[in-house]
Amino acid sequence: MKTSVVLLCLAALAGCASTTSAGAERQSEYERLARECQERGGILMPIPGANNANEAANHACEIRGPASARPSDRN
């Protein structure tokens, strides 16, 4: 009985460890996306209803400020 309880506790702790690691990976991915978006002059905005493991699919970079000419329009 004690062995079963110990194994159950170890399995639960292992599950928590993997969840924490995945959460940390998602946070670092979000931070990278936010930084890249800011470098382009935008702000990272959540996409309504999007909720999956891929942070790039959950957020969009909204560029703010004056519109710029497309590279092909510049002479």
Dihedral (CA of 52, 54, 56, 57) sign:
negative
Residue 70 falls within a domain, yes or no?
Answer: no
Domains in the chain: how many in total? 1
Rounded average pLDDT per 10-residue block, the chain, 75 residues = 53 54 84 93 92 88 72 54
User: With contact defined as beta carbons under 8 Å apart, do 63 and 41 qualify?
Assistant: yes
71 is a domain residue: no
Phi and psi of 44, rounded to 5°? -80, 120
Classify residue 22: in a domain, yes or no.
Answer: yes
Question: Domain for residue 73, yes or no?
Answer: no
pTM of the model: 0.54
Q: Is residue 27 part of a domain?
A: yes
